[in-house]
Structure formats: C-alpha cells, structure tokens
Structure 1
Amino acid sequence: MPKAESKKQQMAAGAALAAKRGEKPKSSLRGASKDMVESMSEKELHDMASTKRKKLPTRESKD
C-alpha cells in the first residue's frame, strides 16, 4: 500500500485519481499527476491520496 511522502505527492495522487475515475479531464493534469494516472492503479492512487496530511512535509526530502 503506497503512502504519500509529502503533501504535494498526496495532492497529485488525488488529482490523478479524479481523472482516472472520470471526474476530471486527463488533459487538465500536469506534472506528477499526469504520470501517476498512467502508471498507477485506481487502488494505488486511492491509498496514496488518502494518506493523512497532518504530519507530512510540504515537499519530499531529497536524501
């Protein structure tokens, strides 16, 4: 079950999930969400988008 590592990643997964479900046009996606909609299943996107944001950093750390 993939978990989002940042708030930006969680939000991108939410946008990709909406597009995959047909709630939003795929043409409106940009950046990471555009890649996610093609490479991840609906379940993976749901799991990542449903990650609690409270303790997530704004962006991923670059280790």
Structure 2
Amino acid sequence: MPAESKAQQQAAGAALSAKRGETKKSNLQGASKEMYETMTEDELEELASTDHDDLPDKKD
C-alpha cells in the first residue's frame, strides 16, 4: 500500500527509523507514534519508500 500524501510518507519514515533503533521512540509524536505501535517494519518500509514527487502535501 503506497503512501497517499507526503505527510504520511514522512511519518512512516520516522516510525521506521524508530523501529530499526536509529532514533528514539520518545521522539515520535502523532501519526508516526501510532504507526510505530501498530505497523510492522515491512509495512512501514513500503509506505516510507513511496515516491513522493506526485503526492499532495496532505490528504484532503
């Protein structure tokens, strides 16, 4: 499932970074914190790797 907005793609990237231990979980907030708790690393990687050139900043 590809990301639907740049904001979603960025939140997934932050959550993925925390899942991998590259950043602290305590640095997460909002959507990225929820993604960290509810999604697998593979799901987060799929969202985070979405090409964001044609994505809107935020989903309507």
Give the shorter-chain TM-score range: over 0.9
Which contiguous aligned blocks of 4+ residues in structure 1 show a shift greater than 4 angstroms?
none
Query: What is the TM-score of this pair, normalised by structure 2?
Result: 0.98
- Shift in Å, 1:49: 0.1
Q: Percent identity?
A: 58
Unaligned runs of 5+ in 1: none
What is the CA–CA distance in structure 1 between the aligned matches of 2:39 and 2:59, rounded to whole Å? 19
Unaligned runs of 5+ in 2: none
Query: What is the TM-score of this pair, normalised by structure 1?
Result: 0.93
What is the CA–CA distance in structure 1 between the aligned matches of 2:2 and 2:32, rounded to whole Å? 15
1:14-63 deviations in Å (ceiling 9; x for gaps): 000000000000000011000000100000000000000000000011xx
Mapping for residues 1-63 of structure 1, pairs under 5 Å = 2-61=1-60
CA RMSD of aligned residues (A): 0.4
What is the CA–CA distance in structure 2 between the aligned matches of 1:25 and 1:5, rounded to whole Å? 25
